[in-house]
Amino acid sequence: MAYNGDKMNRRLNGSYTVEAAFVMAVILFALMISIQSAYRLRDEVAGAMALAESVQRLRHNETESPEDASNWAIHRAGVPFSWKEYRFELNVSGNLLTGRRIKGTGMGGKWRLQLEQRVFDPENFLRKLTLISQEE
For 28-70, what is each residue's pLDDT tens digit? 999 999 999 999 999 999 999 999 999 999 988 878 899 999 9
pTM of the model: 0.73
Q: Which residue range is the domain that position 23 belongs to?
A: 2-135
Burial status of residue 73 (CB atoms within 10 A of its CB: 0-12, 13-18, 19 or more): buried
> What's the number of domains the chain is made of?
1
Q: What is the pLDDT of residue 95?
A: 80
The 10s digit of each residue's pLDDT in 68-117 is 999 999 999 999 999 999 999 999 988 866 778 999 999 999 999 999 99
* d(C-alpha 73, C-alpha 91), whole Å: 14
Q: What is the pLDDT of residue 55?
A: 93
